Amino acid sequence: MAAGEFKVGLLGHGTVGSAFATLLSERADEIERFNGMRPVLGGVLTRSRGSYEEILEGSDAIVEVMGGLEPAREHLLRAMRAGKSVVTANKQLLSHHGEELYETAREHGVMLRFEAAVGGVVPIVRTLEESLSATPIERIHGIVNGTTNYILSAMSAGASYAEALAEAQRNGYAEADPSDDVTGRDAAAKMAILARLAFGTPVHLDDVRFEGIEQIKSDDLEYARDLDLSLKLVGSAERRQGGLSVSVYPTFLYPGHPLAAISGSFNAVTVESETITEITLSGPGAGGRQTASAVLGDVVSVMTGGARPPAPPLALELIEDVESAFYLHLDVEDRPGVLATVTQVLGEQLVSIKSVVQRGLGEHARLVMVTHPVLESALRAAVERLGAFDFIRSSPRTIRVIEEEFM
């Protein structure tokens, strides 16, 4: 090894990997100037070139931007067991095998960095691990998927779901197969990682309740405007009833919420705690060069001996049935007594109404209301009962609402 060189073994040379290789050579002089060491590529592995063994042998650290669970997991474990620090952008891997990877990093005294796995270039991982490490966090809300935020922004401007998705694909914000994004699974993996960092409790992707945006109708967004609400796919991780609740749902926000103004493909994360009130970080959600820049930041952190792996886990119970305010959309027959029956059924489940919009549409009417916070199970019970009445014209639709505003 040449004196002062820091060799980076690169696993994967696709969108992120090739952007990383370019950025590394562009930034090497500057990194050497302030660190005294020059990062250089120690080898590249793809399906068709390179040998993992040789790359591992010849590198000081490993960067994994292959994606998928295997062989990414095995390669990272082997690198750490060989005493090498690793950097990854792989949210699926961390949300499935995080504890095994963190434990291996701790055991072998190496670093495991993963800023690019969550939030694009928004430095939320480092903020939670370092700046807020002494802050008891109450709640995190995040827009952590740029594709769905782009689609919902286009829908608020009047596009249908299909039109907005096609536009996102044309502009390179959505993959040809967007299922991981639009089903909420990508955001759920990221929230599992953030919840582990913020609350110390191991959270597997399977522990995160999630729902995507495929069922959202343009008229939900239209009514939302009347109620002064904007719709986002919001990931939440929060202390609830002595435990921890982690979820991803389409959610309405009032204008004073810091996430309400995040539009297009941007990401943003809000962290709340009694001691800091609220902070929000936002920035571009993804893209090869942006992600590569977060990966390179982690490589520099490894070179300079930055943060340690997450501490051994604590156990908070994972809570499923939590309180939230809800938007409730009912298509009903326009006849006397309907509203009274709806109100009575909701009242029996202790669902109280904050605001209502009613529109007559010939023989039927639309009732769109926002409830005060209520246990999800109680709202579901009320909706199931309402669905059985003959005056209901189509299945009731519900969407979560975050009531907080920070102004």
Ligand X SMILES: NC(=O)c1ccc[n+]([C@@H]2O[C@H](COP(=O)([O-])OP(=O)(O)OC[C@H]3O[C@@H](n4cnc5c(N)ncnc54)[C@H](OP(=O)(O)O)[C@@H]3O)[C@@H](O)[C@H]2O)c1
Which residue of the set 7, 91, 190, 232 is catalytic? 190
**Minimum distance from residue 293 beta carbon to ligand X (Å):** 11
- Going 58 to 62 to 65 to 67, the CA torsion angle's sign is positive
Select 45 or 193, whichever has its Cβ closest to ligand X.
Answer: 45
Q: If DSSP states are collapsed to H, E and C, what string results for the chain?
A: CCCCEEEEEEECCCHHHHHHHHHHHHHHHHHHHHHCCEEEEEEEECCCCCCHHHHHHCCCEEEECCCCCCCHHHHHHHHHHCCCEEEECCHHHHHHHHHHHHHHHHHHCCCEECHHHCCCCCCHHHHHHHHCCCCCCCEEEEECCHHHHHHHHHHHCCCCHHHHHHHHHHCCCCCCCCHHHHCCHHHHHHHHHHHHHHHCCCCCHHHCEECCCCCCCHHHHHHHHHCCCEEEEEEEEEEECCEEEEEEEEEEECCCCCCCCCCCCEEEEEEEECCCEEEEEEEECCCHHHHHHHHHHHHHHHHCCCCCCCCCCCCCCECCCCEEEEEEEEEEECCCCHHHHHHHHHHHCCCCEEEEEEEEECCEEEEEEEECCEEHHHHHHHHHHHHCCCCEEEEEEEEEEECCCCC
Q: Which is nearer to ligand X, 13 or 400 (CB)?
A: 13
What is the smallest separation between the CB atom of 246 and ligand X, expressed in angstroms? 19
| Residue among 14 and 255 whose Cβ is closer to ligand X | 14
Q: CB of 10: closest distance to ligand X in angstroms?
A: 9
Please say whether the beta carbons of 42 and 58 come within 8 A: yes
Least Å distance, CB 74 to ligand X, is 10
Closer to ligand X by CB, 288 or 396: give it.
Answer: 288
Query: Would you say 137 or 295 has its CB closer to ligand X?
Result: 295
- Rank residues 90 and 247 by Cβ distance to ligand X and give the closer one: 90
Burial class (CB in 10 A: 0-12, 13-18, 19+), 104: buried
In contact, 319 and 354? CB cutoff 8 Å:
no
Q: Which residues would be at the binding site for ligand X (CB under 6 A)? A: 12-17, 45-48, 65-68, 71, 89-91, 116, 286-288, 291
CB of 290 to ligand X, least distance (A): 7
354 belongs to the catalytic site: no
Taking the complex as a whole, the smallest distance from the CB of residue 224 to ligand X amounts, in Å, to: 29
Residue in the shown chain whose Cβ atom is closest to ligand X: 14
CB nearer to ligand X: pick between 12 and 297: 12
Closest approach, Cβ 219 to ligand X, in A, equals 32
Active-site residue set: 190
